[in-house]
Each structure stands twice: as C-alpha cells, then as structure tokens.
Amino acid sequence: MVQRVVSTTALCVHRYRDGLGTHEREWIGGHMASTRNAESSRETQGRRAKPLCSTSPRPKPQLASVVASDPRRAAAILGGRTKWVNKTVLHYCFFRGSSHFSVPDVQAEAIRKALAVWKAVGIGLDFKEVTQLSEAEVRIGYSTADGSSASAVGRDVLNIPLTEPTTVYGWDLTTPYGRGTALHELGHVIGMEHEHQNPFAGIKWHEEAVYQSLGSPPNNWPRETTFHNILEKLDPQQVQGSGWDPDSIMEYEFEPGLIDEPERYDADGLVPPGTLSQSDKVWAVKWYPGSTTEPKLLEAFKTVAFDLNAGEQIDLVVKPTQSRRYNVATKGASDTLLTLFEEINGEARYLAADDDSGVDRNASITYKLFKDRTYLVRLRLYYPGQTGTTAVTLT
C-alpha cells in the first residue's frame, strides 16, 4: 500500500438500491463525489438536463490559529493535503465475481483507457492493476442498479474501508458521456476538485432557478444540497491558481437559464467537452511532473539540505550498510509530508509516512532497514517556512 496519511476528511452519503429497497451509506474518511444515474434526464429549454454530483458539506480543516493567521501557509496546507507524493504507484483493482460492484469486462477496459489518457499527459504517477482488493489503494466498482458514479479525492481514498469501492461507476462508460465520466472520476483520484464551485469563476447564478432545477428530476435535491453543491463556493485557500476553466473535465453541464453571469452561459448553458482541457493537463503535470532528477544519496549521520517551493518534492535514496532501526526526520520550520518506500522488483512499495503540516514539530519516521536493500525517501513540501530551507537527516 502507499502512504496511509490521514488527512481531514469529509462525510458523504452514497445512495444505492438492492432487493430490500433504497438505502443511504455515509462514507466518513473520504470525499465522495457522487453522481446520479446518467441515463435519467428531463427536457429544459430544449436541452437535456444532466444529473450532477452530490456531496455532503465538507468540513474545513481546523488549523491552529498561528497557521490560519498566515494565509499563504494555510493555503499551501489546504491545497496540498489530498495530493499524492510524485512517482507514487497507484494500485487499482476491479470488484469482480458475485460482488454487488462487479465490473463487466467492457467497462473495465474503458476505465483502463481513461487511465492511459491521464498517463499520456506525462504525469509522474503510475497506475498498476492488481487482482487483490487488499493490495489496491483505488478499488473500482460498477453498478447500474445504484446509478451513481463517484470517487474519493486524492489521498482521501486511503480512508475508505478496504471492503468498499473508493471509485464507483453507475452507467455505460463506452459512450462519449461515459468516457468523460471515467476521466472525471479519475481526476478526483489524483486530487482534482470540481470546477463549478471555483471561487474565481465569477459565476453569478439565477439562484431560484437553480433551486427549482436541481429540486426536480433527475436530481431531486433539497435546497441545502443544492446550496452546498452548486451555489456555495470553495474556500479560496483550497483552490490552486486564480482562474476558472469551463472546459475542464472536472466541470459539469448546466442547462440555459441557470447562470446569470457570464452572460453567454445564461442563453446557451454550459456544456464542457468531456475531455481533458489544456488547464487540466497543466495542473496534473504541475503536481506530478514526469521528468525529475535522479534521487540524491542520503547517508547515515549526514544531513541533506535543499530549497523547495510550496508543492515541490525531493527524492532521496537510502542504501543501508547494516540492518537496524533507522530514523529519518526533517529539520526546519517547513510543513512537509515525509514518506518511506522500499524498492522491490523495480517498484517502490510504501512502508511509512508522517505529515507535520500545521503542527509544531518535524516529520519523523523510525523503521528497520536491511543491509543491501534500497529504500526511497520522498518529501512533498507544503510550505517552506521563513528560511525556505528544509533538511532531512538519517540516524
């Protein structure tokens, strides 16, 4: 498994149907972006209204007052908390057999193609299919009976119980709409949020029209759900960049008459293309660059110091000369995510991690390392602190 670092989580209600009726499951520990059945629709001003994602309110992380009083530090921590360390191998597994979430072969192949599209952007993340759910960070389900497509966001997938899907699809992924859905949910997996709640979008809504539309089929939302999912903006500190991308794969379709400004969307509605936009690709490569330098050697009783910007990463290699318990730790006032991997058959396998963001201590991992094996230390910087220098020691 990769880094099991518990970040602040969200509560989501996942509705599903079986032979006993309609049920709701609360998922605590991951942000579940839930989309209702894509096949249901209604006609609105000549445009088929689409079902939209429904998430429960996401509690804002409670940062210490000294952190919250520094907008740049708070934004760096909130913006990076769901992101993976670069070069992580995300193992994914499909539910199979008699499971309620069993994925048909044709749908599994559509998801593999969507993963290939993301990888072709040139990101440093890798995706590897495994056959055991217990070995997968990303557990993918499929159920047209449930009619929901959903995914936890980034490292929040690590908080989902191993017996449940972290990502689930509820309709055919071989159609143009379905292919966009496959890409969208995988965008959540790598840490992307929805675009329509971007505080920098400049969107003004016809609010009562929004409440009426979303309160009708196919969504049937109460007013509080519509507010939390459509009208309420994300905290600016949660959003990277200062622009809105209406063509993003993370944007949703809105029929005419819901958006007041920008005016063009009032008359025409908002219809994203359902493919990766240029901004999507830039975002992905920024967080997960494909070309990186070779890791530096970290030797026992020596310190490696470096200067990084917020969101950047340093990779170090450890080759123990004796088998014993070692401690790898950071020094300085920076906020970091520190991870330890072992190289096994050419693949980095997760061992341990520590996240010191927003607290008055340094990240530290103590672990038994063995002679003649190779280990990797990967450090993702949230915020560099006043000096801008971070150091890593091995003792």
Q: What is the CATH number of the domain that holds 357?
A: 2.60.120.510
Q: What is the CATH number for 73?
A: 3.40.390.10
Q: How far apart are CA 109 and CA 265, in angstroms?
A: 35
Note whether residue 250 is domain-resident. Answer: yes
- pLDDT at position 17, please? 39
Band of the pLDDT at 266, cuts 50, 70, 90? very high
Band of the pLDDT at 385, cuts 50, 70, 90? confident
- Do residues 334 and 358 make contact, with C-beta atoms less than 8 angstroms apart? no
**Per-residue tokens: 135:** 């070995």
Query: Which of 1-10, 245-254, 274-283 shows the highest mean pLDDT?
Result: 274-283
More confident residue, 379 or 202: 379
Residues 272 and 133 in one domain: yes
- pLDDT at position 261, please? 93
Secondary structure, 3-state, the chain: CCCCCCCCCCEEEEEEEECCEEEEEEEECCCCCEECCCCCCEEECCEEECCCEECCCCCCCCCCHHHHCCHHHHHHHHHHCCCCCCCCEEEEEECCCCCCCCCCHHHHHHHHHHHHHHHHCCECCEEEECCCHHHCCEEEEECCCCCCEEECCHHHHHHCCCCCCCEEECCCCCCHHHHHHHHHHHHHHCCCCCCCCCCCCCCEECHHHHHHHHCCCCCCCCHHHHHHHHHCCCCHHHCCCCCCCCCCCCCCCECCCCEEECHHHHHHCECCCCCCCHHHHHHHHHHCECCCCCCEECCCCEEEEEECCCCCEEEEEECCCCCEEEEEEEECCCEEEEEEEEEECCEEEEEEEEECCCCCCCCEEEEEECCCCCEEEEEEEEECCCCCEEEEEEC
Can you give the length of the chain in residues? Answer: 395
- The alpha carbon dihedral of 99, 83, 176, 203 has a sign of positive
Q: Which of 286, 318, 346 is the last residue of a domain?
A: 286
Whether pLDDT at 29 is above 50 = no
CA contacts within 13 A on the Cβ side of 157? 31
Whether pLDDT at 129 is above 60 = yes
**Per-residue tokens: 361:** 């201590």
Band of the pLDDT at 23, cuts 50, 70, 90? very low
Residues 56 and 21 in one domain: yes
171 CB contacts (<8 Å, ≥6 apart)? 37, 38, 39, 144, 147, 149, 178, 181
With CA atoms as reference, report the closest residue to 124 among 348, 336, 275, 375: 348
**Per-residue tokens: 91:** 């193992």
Helix 105-120 and helix 176-189, axial crossing angle in degrees, nearest 10: 60
pLDDT digits (tens, 9 = 90+) for 303-346: 999 999 999 999 999 999 999 999 999 998 999 999 999 999 99
- pLDDT at position 136, please? 97
Note whether residue 68 is domain-resident. Answer: yes
Task: Write b or e for each residue in 96-125: b if 16 or more Cβ atoms lie within 10 A of its Cβ, otherwise e.
Answer: eeeeebebeeebbebbeebbeebeebebbb
Domain count of the chain?
Answer: 2
Residues 307 and 174 in one domain: no
Domain membership of residue 84 as a residue range: 11-286
Residues 73 and 211 in one domain: yes
Residues 269 and 147 in one domain: yes
Whether pLDDT at 250 is above 50 = yes
Residues 272 and 346 in one domain: no
One-letter amino acid at 380 equals R
Q: Which of 253, 286, 319 is the last residue of a domain?
A: 286
Q: Which of 28-32, 275-279, 352-356, 359-363 has the lowest mean pLDDT?
A: 28-32
Note whether residue 123 is domain-resident. Answer: yes
**Per-residue tokens: 334:** 């920076």
- pLDDT at position 391, please? 95
Q: How far apart are CA 221 and CA 52, in angstroms?
A: 10
